[in-house]
Homo-oligomer: A and B are copies of this chain.
Amino acid sequence: MQRQTTQRVAIENAFTAAGRPLGPQEILEAARDEVPSLNLATVYRTLKRMVDDRILHPVELPGESPRYELQEAADKHHHHFRCRKCDAVFDLNGCVNGLSKLLPAGFQMSGHDIVIYGDCRACNA
């Protein structure tokens, strides 16, 4: 477990405040409110350590750079919704049945990702 620096605390606070997956640049901007000297290289290093420490979980969507979310949010199996209008990402609870029926013979499933695309509530209104 790494040291509890002011930078790391600021990064952690950014996640708690946002309540949704964030990317490195978003994190930099948010955490600089608290620690203006914060450097992007530090963000990358801290993200990596926090993932090792099981405090953050990477959220990887097709065709995009990784975002991260608090591990507690990731502990319950969930998937993601990506709004095609505002580009925000939301957690979706629950899952579907019947994935294994898609497998060809001889293939074995050990995991899956589902991403739903569309318009979020705010963009629909």
Shortest C-beta distance, A47 to chain B (Å), equals 14
In the complex, A112 Cα to B118 Cα: how many Å?
A: 9
**How many angstroms between the C-alpha atoms of A99 and B115 in the bound complex?**
10
- A99-116: which have CB < 8 Å to B? 99, 101-116
Instruction: Please determine whether B119 and A107 come into contact, CB atoms closer than 8 angstroms.
Output: yes
- Is A36 located at the chain interface by the 8 A CB criterion? no
Given A107-B121, A108-B124, residue A114 in contact with residue B97 (CB < 8 A)? no
Q: Taking A62-B61, A116-B112 as contacts, is the C-beta distance between A121 and B104 under 8 angstroms?
A: yes
- Please choose the segment from A2-10, A21-29, A87-95 that sits at the chain B interface, where 4 or more of its residues have CB less than 8 A away: A87-95
A106 B121 Cβ-Cβ under 8 A: yes
**CB-CB < 8 A to A81: which residues of B?**
102-104, 107
CA distance in complex: A58, B62 (Å): 10
- Asked whether A120 lies within 8 Å of B107 as measured between CB atoms, the reply is yes
> A: which residues have CB within 8 A of B?
58, 60-63, 66, 79, 81, 84, 90, 92-99, 101-121, 124-125
